[in-house]
Structure 1
Amino acid sequence: MYAMLSTIETDRLSQGDSVNLSVAFPLRRYIEEGAAEAMLGGRRHAITMRGTACMALSLLDTYGAAPYDSYPAEGVNYDALARGVNAMARRSQSLSHLRRQVGDMLDSRMGALPQRVYMLHAQYSFGEFARSVYAQDYQALTSFTHHPFGRRVVLELPDNHRRDSFLNVPLDTLMHAIDRALDQGYAVCWEGDISEPGFSFSRGVATLPHSPRYDQQLRQRWFERRQTTDDHCMCIIGRAHDRQGRPYYIAKNSWGTDNPFGGMMYISRDYIRMKTIAIVINNETCHIRL
């Protein structure tokens, strides 16, 4: 959620606009939506706070958005909220009663939702505000060979609760899409694996051992063997090189600022090639030729 909203905010900055989006608003809507599924579907549909970057876009499409100042909800433990709602859902005998209970609890922990939002002396509904800053301008891409290239596919990810789809493209096309977006001043929402020993937030880097074999086939093998998993999202904002000339991508993370780069991560190009599950980029940069 944080990375996708950060990507939208960064893209707005590149267009000369500034917006600070509320993370709490879509997360609250997600919990409210999940309460009914948790009650009617049982433990198999219990709320989990894990998700994909596409899930954030889907929530914005469905429920709209709010600026941070309209719904800040600081210091919320969302995992604890989800556990509380799941417990309510297991005990509840009435959907309407459950919705009232959940609404009261979320009001208590997060604050009541405003009826409308205000920004720059203008008044918006949540949907109007979302369209003013986002307008469904994004495309999700992935690259795996067990699906045909050139088609939208539903990736088999544990966190793809809404069965969102991704355009499946060859690996070199995916990498070109990242570079093209950055060249044009846009951010890239990155979703991928952070379980490798070379990923270190404390050092601010993510690397793989040097190898000439980092290709589509090895990438697929790692995914099928669950050596590449859907762990985390970050917002890629630029590129850099180390002293040996090796290329890196610069990414904003959501884990605070306590590393040598103020919380930024420097991710090697090989790491991005092999450990990306998906990216989300602005449609203005997405001119895919297959």
Structure 2
Amino acid sequence: MMYLKRSLLSVMILSSVSLSAQDDLIKSLEGNKSIKATEGFQFTPVVNLETTSVKNQGSSGTCWSYSGNSFLETEMIRMGKQPVDLAEIYTARCTYIEKAINYVRMHGNLGWGDGGELHDVVNIYKKYGALPQEVYDGLNYGTDINRFGEMQTALKGFLDGIVQNKNGKLTPNWIKAFTAALDSYLGEVPEEFEYKGKTYSPQSFAKEVVGVKADDYIEMVSYSDQPLYENVFMAVPDNWSFDTAYNVSMDDITATIDNALKKGYSVGWATDVSEKYFSWKNGIAYLPETDYSQMSSDERQAMFSGPKQEMKATPEMRQQAFDDYTTTDDHAMQIVGIVKDQNEKEYYIVKNSWGISNDYNGYLYVTKEFVKYKTTALMLHKDGVPKNILKS
């Protein structure tokens, strides 16, 4: 899942042909500067799940890995375990290997870049295990944050050269060469490592320390043009693994999130963040009653000055936004709670991975109408899904 929205993108997720970086997105949202929304909103906690610290994904399109690993860390807390700061770039690195295999298999007819989906975190965890951040930080050439522009350009050039080779037949060495390039940029993965006085492999660490069972998790989408309560193809460009997801109605989105949070389960959340009514700096996102294009200058200035009336999302408008590229799968975050404003309206507490860089120290508050309209996928423990929704 990349996170700088461009025009003319396929379906929900941005094309991953070019690298999309956090600093680019923040620049694109600078029109929504802080007007001290913290003074206009008075939030009272309803549900506030314990989670780990806010991280910073830097200049890399790895929001899906940061939100997905934060989700796993929060699951450890829910299970009564001491949470581990998991290595997001280990997950991303393994994903790049799997994606490269599919890229070559598809003769280059697959998007390339940092982009991924929440299910990639669970899939990689199941196959490759996990590493603690202290063992693998992915910072192998002197930077203090991720900077993946050069790496991804180089990797794509390498893969395109493999696909276009003149031999007429691939050698078995290209994967080794590709992995060596990853090692150069991100560092080699240890076969074994010490953690708190014990030796682990990535697989044994996942099993013995993290303890999360990958098969316990479900990814959900909401397409009104596909059968409900069945697994359907997740029709987005960054679904490089061609996974399916469980299709539910629009109202099931918030019903599922509410049920999960109240039972102690956090939710991985993929969404569109490029609209004018999403303000990272102010830490507020909602669905305004009046379209931004029809607002007066004063209304635009006051968008985040306090609670506002909202438009009611409908399945028809949601599907239309998906079909006409108004909704694209820009970003992934984690929903960890519910608050009420001074008018008793509920908002979700959302944990981001852009560092402590906004008015709410790395968190934001999002209305349910926004979530109904703009959600592109959810990931959560199956036990967090209402039984009447999980029908198969």
Structure 2 portions without partners, runs of 5+ = 1-64, 140-144, 290-309
Matched with 1:195 is 274
Deviates more, 1:87-96 or 1:231-240: 87-96
Q: Among residues 155, 160, 171, which one is paired with 1:90 in the alignment?
A: 160
Q: Aligned to 2:205, what secondary structure does the other structure show?
A: helix
> Any conservation in 2 of the 1:55–1:164 contact (CA below 8 Å)?
no
Q: Please give the TM-score of this superposition, normalised by the length of structure 1.
A: 0.91
- Larger RCO: 1 or 2 (CA < 8 Å, sep 6+): 2
Alignment of 1:7-46 (within 5 A): 7-17=71-81, 18-39=83-104, 41-45=106-110
Match status 1:220 vs 2:298: no
State the distance in 2 between where 1:270 and 1:107 align: 44
Q: 2:226 aligns with which of 147, 172, 185?
A: 147
Distance 2:246 2:105 in 1: 32
SS in 2 for 1:84: helix
Percent of aligned pairs sharing the same letter: 28
Change (3 A) 1:35 1:173: closer
Superimposed CA distance per residue, residues 196-236 of structure 1 (whole angstroms, 9 cap, x where no aligned partner)? 11111111111111345312222122222222111110011
Deviation at 1:110, TM superposition (A): 1.6
What is the deviation of 1:36? 4.0
Listed one character per residue, the Cα deviations across residues 157-208 of structure 1 (whole Å, up to 9, x for unaligned) are: 1111111111111222221110111112221100011121111111111111
Q: What CA distance in whole angstroms lies between the structure 1 residues aligned with 2:182 and 2:251?
A: 45
Contact 1:239 1:248 in 2 (8 A): yes
Aligned residues: 290
Deviation at 1:121, TM superposition (A): 3.4
SS in 1 for 2:225: coil
Where do 1:105-254 residues align within 5 Å?
105-132=181-208, 133=210, 134-136=212-214, 137-210=216-289, 211-254=310-353
Say which structure is richer in helix.
1
Distance in 1 between residues matched to 2:251 and 2:111, nearest whole Å: 38
Letter in 1 for 2:277: G
1:163 and 1:126 mapped to 2: Cα distance?
A: 25
CA RMSD of aligned residues (A): 2.0
1:63-97 per-residue CA deviation (whole Å, 9 max, x = no partner) reads 22212122122333234322211222233455444
Instruction: Between 72-81 and 4-13, report the one with greater CA deviation.
Output: 72-81
CA radius of gyration, larger in:
2
Moved more, 205-214 or 115-124: 115-124
For the 8 Å contact 1:3–1:235, the answer to whether it is kept is yes
Distance, in Å, in 2 between the alignment partners of 1:117 and 1:180 is: 39
Indicate which of 57, 67, 70 corresponds to 1:3.
Answer: 67
Alignment equivalent of 2:357, drawn from 228, 251, 258: 258
Distance 1:88 1:104 in 2: 12
Q: 1:61 aligns with which of 126, 131, 134?
A: 126
Shift of 1:114: 0.5
- 2:221 & 2:371 partners in 1: Cα distance? 12
2: CA distance, partners of 1:37 / 1:262: 38
When residues 36 and 7 of structure 1 are mapped into structure 2, their CA distance, relative to the original with a 3 A threshold, is: closer
